[in-house]
Structure 1
Amino acid sequence: MTADEAFSAAMQAMAEQEFDVRLKPRSHPELGEILIEENLFAIGRNESPFASYDRELIAELSRRHARIFWEGGALYVADLGSKNGTSVNGVAVQEKPCRLYDRDEIGLGGTLTYRVKIAPRTTKPRRAGALLSLTLTPVRDDLGLQPIVIARFPFLVSKADEVFARYKEASPHQVNYVSRRHAHIFLKSNAPFVEDLGSTNGTFVDGKRLDEHAVELREGTVLGFAGSHFVYTVSLQREPETDPTLTTFSPVDAVAADPHANADRTTFVAAADSFLDIFCNDPGAPQDELNNDDARAEEAPPQVVERERSRAAILVRELGKAFAGGDREAKQRALRWGIPGLVLLVAIAVGVYFIGSTEREIRDLIADGAYAQALAAADEYLARNPDDAALEALGTEALLKAKLPAWIESLQAGGFDRATAVLADMKTGATHNTDAQALLGELEWIAALEQFVRERRGADAPIRMYADEERIRSLLQRWNDDAKGHQRALALIGAHVPAFKDVYAEALTHLRRLESDESVYLAAIERLNASITEELAQDRPEALDAVLNEYADKYPRLAGIDALREDLRQYVALDGAMSAGKLGPLVAVLDKLKFATPPFQEQFAKLGASRLPSADLLRHYRTASAAWREGKADQAFAALQQVSTGPWADVVARQLEHRKAVQQQFTELQQVRGSKGYDERLLAFYSSLDTDEDSWFVRATEADVRVYREKALGRANELLNQAQGMWRQYRSNGGIGGEHRLESGISGAFRSQARLLSEAHTDMQQAMRIYQLLNAADAAKWSALADEIDTETELQRRSLRDLHMVLEPGLLKAKLALIGGRSDEERKSPQ
């Protein structure tokens, strides 16, 4: 068997195999499945079962919306120019029908979506008394119309077909009343039906114009096209059922049974039309159809014309006429021109045969399963003949059948490196095949998509902020650049290698989820970034706590909120340290700072260019602090004195003066050591030191402080009593209420209460530091009061920060400074 014969046999087997098609509702599961058992299924708001649905569900369906049909063993869907469209896997079906595969998704309008399920039918329906032919006999015998015998279905009524075009010279207007796609006659459950295809002048059954529904044709039905001219009576010829020994009925028998019919004057339609052509919209067709205002017109005598579709048949017929009859002169002309023409035709045929030998060879190799040999032969041929489209198509088929199964296996097993290697091998095998190279680009995209999904552990995995956005956008952009082209290419791959259809369907599922993630989560991330940038630019970081909580609740698959919270915590500490105007806490925060998210990284870069100390200043300060902690005061002073300019120069100057004062006090303290009043000066000096920054001086005086333990404890008690007194006065005055915090300025009441709270807090902190140093047992009984004062201080600070949307930033910072106290981060940092 040749390759062509094998191909024809395979197509015939597919055409003879019967299938059941089920449409499983996706958008509205409650509607139930639709079973399609016929070769043609009508979709429209007045068609079954759609007419039984709630009107709101089918509001976007047109009356003639779409048709699903079988053609050559393949299933197709065609949109009939519906208002709201038909789609397959999200791609609109436009002028041409779209082939359907198992698991494809059909969208009807914007409300109904169905999943296609195709399964072979286990039993064939019995078809006793099968329809052999349908005869259309003209109602009027004075118009010269020919009877039409239709033996194969479907049959397209068209003015472009010879069946009706033959009358154009005699009755041009009547022919032009017929549309190019006027109506079609098809079989449904072994019964003939006629459906109008939206013709200009209509189709009539027993005098009634058809709407969008197909109507069954019965014996004696009067069928008219475009008015009162082309009107016929229907007669049906079925296979005899009574005696199986009877000779098979033929269309000629039907003509012989009609006394008015003549086999020589009858049009026999023995070849079926294609549903693909019938339902293919042609927006570019000439608009030469006429409206039929007068259904009755004078007609010309009949003619006898056979319906012939083959140009070769026409050529043979004309040559036959030339040699078979006519006058002598005509025969001589035929001999003079016909014979050379025939010789030329034979020569062309022989040339085509030999030219096509490579194509036949490759087809035979593919048919025999020798895909690698077919691929090598195709690539070798294309290296010499790069523009041969037929060989490119065969080379593509051989390439996919030879290599794609290994790629699919690697991809489904998660072996993406192996899949990449297979793809590289496929590119080598298709070096000279531009069509195949384009298809391999589609496989690269699918591999990138599936690898991304697997890395994230599924399409429903959380969206990782600042990690997934660009890859999602890149994958979607690559698809959206030519979605329809990608659909066609991937469908072609699936047609060659059926196992690819599962990969394709899975990829489409993941694609749809990423499209949803882009519209929901990526848009949410953009809005969140904008909010963070705005609040930080307005110096309102405290407002972001509520923003982050809102996004965490609203978008549960958003991963990365915790990283933003951590960056926000660091930023608040940084902002507090900058506002305090002390380099010690600021440097301590900077040393531990590490922002992980882009919005905070960008804001930190802006601060570095405007508000933060320069790198040189920080270097000098760190040198000075290290020397100061080692007791090398002169080196510390020299390092600080090198900073004389910049926004932080005044802070450095104050720090220098403070350290000089500490050094001076220590020197003077050593001079009066052991004298009267030494203990008081020692304890006052010691309580003023910072345990971290002034650690050298703490160690230098610690021994003497222990000697004066009792006096030190007395000093601590004095501070505690002062703190307790101010705290009681603060409480008796009613604390700091919301009306004070909301003031547009700083009133005397606010200033007075803030002073009491701040001094109580400071005295309590100094006293507790002495207790902790001396390990005093009384420290425990004061800890509750210390916590109470500390809690109130931080409560007032938080309450003020919550008013960042109301208070002017400078006023807010001034009130916070009067309250005193430090945030948790500041308390952990040295002064």
Structure 2
Amino acid sequence: MAPGEASVAEAGPMLHKAFDLLLEPESYPAAGVIRIDENLFAVGRFEAPFASCEADAVAQLSRRHARIFIENGAAYAADLGSKNGTTVNGVLLREKPMRLQSGDVIGFGGKLTFRVRMEPRAVARAYAAQPVHLTLTPERGDLGLHPVELAEFPFLVSKADETFLQYSDRYPHQVNYVSRRHAHIFVKAGIPFVEDLGSTNGTFVDGKRVGEIAVPLQDGASLAFGGNHFAYIVSLRRETEPGAITTTTATITTTAASSTGSAAQATPDDLDKTTFITTAHSFLDIFCVDQGQPSDDEINREILPDERVPARRRSRSRFVRFVSDLGAAFGGGQAVERRVLFCGLAFVAAMIAIGSVLYFSGTAERDLKSLVAHGDYRNAVSVANAYLGKHPDDPHAMVLGTEALLKGYLPDWLDQLKRRNFDGARSVVSQMETLAATNSDARFLVDEIAWIGRLEAFMASRERADAPIRIYADENRMSELLAQWESDPSAHQRRLDRIASTVPAFRDLYAVALSHLRKLESEDSVYLAAIERLKGSIDRALAPGGDPDALSGEIADYADKYPRLAGLDRVQDDLRQYLALKHAVQSRELGPLIDAMQKARFTTPPFQAQRRQLEAHSLPTPDVVQRYMAVSDAWRNGKAEPAMTGLRSMAGGPWADAVSAELAHKQAVASQFADLQKSRGAQGYDDRVLSFDESLDPLADTWFVNAIQPDLSTLRQKALERADEWLNRAQTAWTQYRTNGGIGGDQRLETGLSDGFRKQAKLLTGAWSGAQRAAQLLRQLKADRSALADKLLAEINAEVDLQRRSLLQLSPVLDPGLLSAKLALIGEDKSSYKGANGEERRAP
């Protein structure tokens, strides 16, 4: 038992007493009270009594959801990896069973909950007085398998148990087809059942694979584990009195009896070879599942049924009969006509002539055989290719050429892989592909070798078995490797077996590769599926009408749920840059847009594709970007007139509106600065300096910011008072906005502009305007309170962005004019201006 499991020694009040377990419904009264009077109770969508419940009540149950079992006077619950989970008193069951006590609340899938109650058993079960004995007699007597006698239940079928482990030296592969937790045989209502425990290669009853529900075992049934090697005939007996055994039906079929002999007629030597199971396994071991434990099973590609085709007896050909008759005639066995005799002699002469031609024309094939026999494999490949160039359909030459190719070049390939020189290994495979061009038989095997090389190169690139799986990097290679194998697993395994039989040194790598394949198959079911879901969400969000703003939270959820999923930070970074670029495009302002274009460096395919689409349809052309950058450089250096002249030359084209707005702003700044210089020393000059400073962008208008810096330094105290005034106004408006509950969804959906919407929008824009002005001035003055203003501005900006996105999502249902009016009220009007640093400022 693993550490932390419930101990059987925790007896409780019912220990050593027979009791029934009652599940009293709490969430679904129609289910009724469920009485459990067996040692094992199955919980599943199609198990009784859940199968008779309404579909909605059991919709969240899995087919194999959970098991409740009673052992050593204690009751336990175990979850079987169900989709929606099993809880006991609100605690989610994981890999380990949990001990149940009276009064516990157990839940299945989120909708079905029951109160647990234990009740002493008043009436003994009738079938308990007739214990079941079960014998498993091997179907085949030529394999040396021992019969298995079961007197106690449950019985766990496991390759780690001596019952099967004893054959590991003789049949290592067949033992490895059996899982560590393969199946278990248990008794319910006096009837033995077998349940598969999610084994790799399956459990079969009468040739049919056992699904997710236990199957009863009938006398004479065929029972096989992992294939057709460990296959047995079931015999049932019931003990009516101590020492007396009564056989209910024929204990074994005629076929089985002929091959192995009846257990009832066994000799003392046979009994010595019988495996007697007299101690039951523990349900705790059977249902204690470590989901993270990697499987070490081999995959059996030749699963039941085992079809044996009887060999046909060939009829004698006319030629054989003729030669026989001819021989009999020459031997005096019968009289023959002269015509027949002459015909026979002529035929023999013709055959001798044909044989001579074939002998002399078969020199190349004899040379090929000789080269292979003497180990000169590479020369043999050349001879085979030359011969197959003239006789492409000669199967014998193909087989010899394939053997020579494998023995001549595969050892070099194995050596390159062993030294982890994957480029060298690929070079050897490329050479083998060229040499196999005329040999269709060899081409299939070279393809398998190339696949093994790609698989091992990929696994080596991951450095360790549990390495992270990188989105937009690993999934395509993993999918390609799995797709090639899954196209025809049986054919691939036959070819690889053939390679291993030709070059035994290949066997070790073959085993490692199959282990790596199982690892990829396991990851395919979890991580590759998760990656495909996430990539689908990203594609939908980036498509027209999608909501890329909602992607960040979904990507963060995937990072939490799948800790080995790597590369999500690259996706998040690309998303952040894409949103900045997209919002800059929507703002129709060249400064922040070109800044975002220069900063964006996308590293994942979907965002790279979006960048190409934006460049083709939405972004400024390289000529516009170049001309605007010249304007910005002139403006930052105080060359106002050349900058405005450059903007005037850009007045035409798709960005005319943005150029016009930029020109108006720069003209206003230059004009106000000129007026400011003329009014120096006049009354009200201080207020005009502060007002002018508030209209400037610290990055785009650097020259003007520096020009008034000396005036601001002398006005520091007055400037601080002005900043505090704006900050207090912003805090008051923001507090009132939140007290009123913000702008709700019903207000956004209104078919008109209500007073409530106007009032809240006014508070929000007032708070934003005051916080923006205060933050800008305090940063410029390097005041301690600038951090407080920045924090308040960030909170208000988040609410403004939320309201804008929410309104834009209502564009299909709101009148366009009304939508524009509502957006304008919360700060989307065209009189506002956003500078190169991404912050909006008032037009001067």
Answer whether TM exceeds 0.5 for this pair: yes
Deviation, 1:592, is: 1.0
| From 638, 648, 656, the counterpart of 1:649 | 656
Q: Distance in 1 between matches of 2:309 and 2:525?
A: 34
Q: Distance in 2 between matches of 1:384 and 1:590?
A: 63
Which residue identity is paired with 1:653? S
CA 1:616–1:787 in 2, change beyond 3 Å: closer, same or farther?
closer
CA 1:733–1:624 in 2, change beyond 3 Å: closer, same or farther?
closer
Superposition pairs of residues 267-306 of structure 1, within 5 angstroms: 280-281=308-309
| From 713, 717, 729, the counterpart of 1:713 | 717
Deviation, 1:403, is: 2.1
CA 1:737–1:115 in 2, change beyond 3 Å: closer, same or farther?
farther
Q: Does 1:410 align with 2:549?
A: no
Which residue identity is paired with 1:790? L
2:196 match: 57
Which residue identity is paired with 1:731? T
Q: Distance in 1 between matches of 2:159 and 2:599?
A: 56
Q: Does 1:636 align with 2:643?
A: yes
Q: Do 1:379 and 1:432's aligned partners in 2 also have CA atoms closer than 8 Å?
A: yes
1:266 match: none
1:588 match: 595
Q: For 1:235-283, what per-residue CA distance to the aligned partner results, in whole angstroms no more than 9, with x for missing partners?
A: xxxxxxxxxxxxxxxxxxxxxxxxxxxxxxxxxxxxxxxxxxx964489
Q: Does 1:624 align with 2:631?
A: yes
Which residue identity is paired with 1:449? L
1:213 match: 255
1:673 match: 680
Deviation, 1:730, is: 4.9
| Stretch of structure 1 that moved more, 583-592 or 764-773 | 764-773
Q: Does 1:727 align with 2:734?
A: no
Q: Do 1:400 and 1:496's aligned partners in 2 also have CA atoms closer than 8 Å?
A: yes
Q: For 1:204-245, what per-residue CA distance to the aligned partner results, in whole angstroms no more than 9, with x for missing partners?
A: xxxx999583332899xxxxxxxxxxxxxxxxxxxxxxxxxx
| From 329, 353, 357, the counterpart of 1:322 | 329
CA 1:216–1:405 in 2, change beyond 3 Å: closer, same or farther?
same
Deviation, 1:565, is: 0.8
Q: Distance in 2 between matches of 1:377 and 1:534?
A: 58
Q: Distance in 2 between matches of 1:110 and 1:612?
A: 69
CA 1:366–1:820 in 2, change beyond 3 Å: closer, same or farther?
same
Q: Do 1:573 and 1:589's aligned partners in 2 also have CA atoms closer than 8 Å?
A: yes
TM-score between both structures, scaled by the size of structure 1: 0.59
Q: Does 1:704 align with 2:704?
A: no
Deviation, 1:350, is: 6.1
| From 609, 631, 636, the counterpart of 1:602 | 609
Deviation, 1:666, is: 1.5
1:46 match: none
Q: Do 1:408 and 1:500's aligned partners in 2 also have CA atoms closer than 8 Å?
A: yes
Q: For 1:639-662, what per-residue CA distance to the aligned partner results, in whole angstroms no more than 9, with x for missing partners?
A: 222333455422322221121111
Superposition pairs of residues 193-342 of structure 1, within 5 angstroms: 213-216=255-258, 280-281=308-309, 318-325=325-332, 329-330=335-336, 336=342
TM-score between both structures, scaled by the size of structure 2: 0.58
Q: Distance in 2 between matches of 1:715 and 1:281?
A: 100
CA 1:692–1:674 in 2, change beyond 3 Å: closer, same or farther?
same
Q: Secondary structure at the match of 1:330?
A: coil
Q: Distance in 2 between matches of 1:420 and 1:727?
A: 68
| From 490, 496, 499, the counterpart of 2:496 | 490
Deviation, 1:442, is: 3.1
1:790 match: 793
2:104 match: none
CA 1:819–1:346 in 2, change beyond 3 Å: closer, same or farther?
same
Deviation, 1:688, is: 2.5
Q: Distance in 1 between matches of 2:223 and 2:688?
A: 86
Q: Does 1:420 align with 2:426?
A: yes
Q: For 1:348-376, what per-residue CA distance to the aligned partner results, in whole angstroms no more than 9, with x for missing partners?
A: 66666666565455445434434345445
Q: Distance in 1 between matches of 2:836 and 2:625?
A: 19
Q: Do 2:384 and 2:401's aligned partners in 1 also have CA atoms closer than 8 Å?
A: yes
1:147 match: none
Q: Do 1:400 and 1:497's aligned partners in 2 also have CA atoms closer than 8 Å?
A: yes
Which residue identity is paired with 1:414? R
CA 1:815–1:562 in 2, change beyond 3 Å: closer, same or farther?
farther
Deviation, 1:594, is: 1.9
Q: Do 2:723 and 2:777's aligned partners in 1 also have CA atoms closer than 8 Å?
A: no
Deviation, 1:493, is: 2.1
RCO higher in structure (CA 8 A, sep ≥6): 1
CA 1:312–1:21 in 2, change beyond 3 Å: closer, same or farther?
farther
Q: Distance in 2 between matches of 1:723 and 1:714?
A: 14
Q: Secondary structure at the match of 1:55?
A: strand
Q: Percent identity?
A: 38
1:534 match: 540
1:397 match: 403
Q: Distance in 2 between matches of 1:459 and 1:797?
A: 47
2:114 match: none
Q: Distance in 2 between matches of 1:511 and 1:819?
A: 57
The number of residue pairs the alignment matches comes to 593
Q: Secondary structure at the match of 1:595?
A: coil
CA 1:351–1:734 in 2, change beyond 3 Å: closer, same or farther?
closer
| Stretch of structure 1 that moved more, 547-556 or 793-802 | 793-802
Q: Distance in 2 between matches of 1:393 and 1:496?
A: 11
Q: Distance in 1 between matches of 2:838 and 2:408?
A: 68
2:766 match: 759
Deviation, 1:342, is: 5.2
Q: For 1:556-595, what per-residue CA distance to the aligned partner results, in whole angstroms no more than 9, with x for missing partners?
A: 4332211111112122323443454543333322221122
CA 1:339–1:662 in 2, change beyond 3 Å: closer, same or farther?
closer
Deviation, 1:526, is: 3.7
Q: Do 1:716 and 1:768's aligned partners in 2 also have CA atoms closer than 8 Å?
A: no
Q: Distance in 2 between matches of 1:210 and 1:827?
A: 87
Q: Specify the structure having the higher radius of gyration (Cα).
A: 1
Q: Distance in 2 between matches of 1:641 and 1:26?
A: 86
Q: Do 1:624 and 1:636's aligned partners in 2 also have CA atoms closer than 8 Å?
A: yes
Superposition pairs of residues 81-230 of structure 1, within 5 angstroms: 113=226, 213-216=255-258
Q: Do 1:755 and 1:818's aligned partners in 2 also have CA atoms closer than 8 Å?
A: yes
Q: Do 1:624 and 1:639's aligned partners in 2 also have CA atoms closer than 8 Å?
A: yes
Q: Does 1:664 align with 2:671?
A: yes
Deviation, 1:737, is: 1.2
CA 1:336–1:347 in 2, change beyond 3 Å: closer, same or farther?
same
Q: Do 2:764 and 2:796's aligned partners in 1 also have CA atoms closer than 8 Å?
A: yes
Q: Distance in 2 between matches of 1:521 and 1:606?
A: 30
CA 1:282–1:748 in 2, change beyond 3 Å: closer, same or farther?
farther
Q: For 1:512-558, what per-residue CA distance to the aligned partner results, in whole angstroms no more than 9, with x for missing partners?
A: 54455556544443432332233343352221122212322344433
Q: Distance in 2 between matches of 1:566 and 1:823?
A: 27
Q: Secondary structure at the match of 2:441?
A: helix
Q: Does 1:683 align with 2:725?
A: no
Which residue identity is paired with 1:564? V
2:452 match: 446
CA 1:370–1:331 in 2, change beyond 3 Å: closer, same or farther?
same
Q: Distance in 2 between matches of 1:730 and 1:333?
A: 123
Q: Distance in 2 between matches of 1:110 and 1:625?
A: 83
Q: Do 1:669 and 1:681's aligned partners in 2 also have CA atoms closer than 8 Å?
A: yes
Q: Distance in 2 between matches of 1:589 and 1:815?
A: 27
CA 1:679–1:209 in 2, change beyond 3 Å: closer, same or farther?
closer
Deviation, 1:798, is: 5.9
Q: Does 1:33 align with 2:40?
A: no
CA 1:506–1:54 in 2, change beyond 3 Å: closer, same or farther?
farther
Structure 2 gaps of 5+ residues are: 1-141, 147-154, 178-182, 187-191, 212-221, 233-249, 262-305
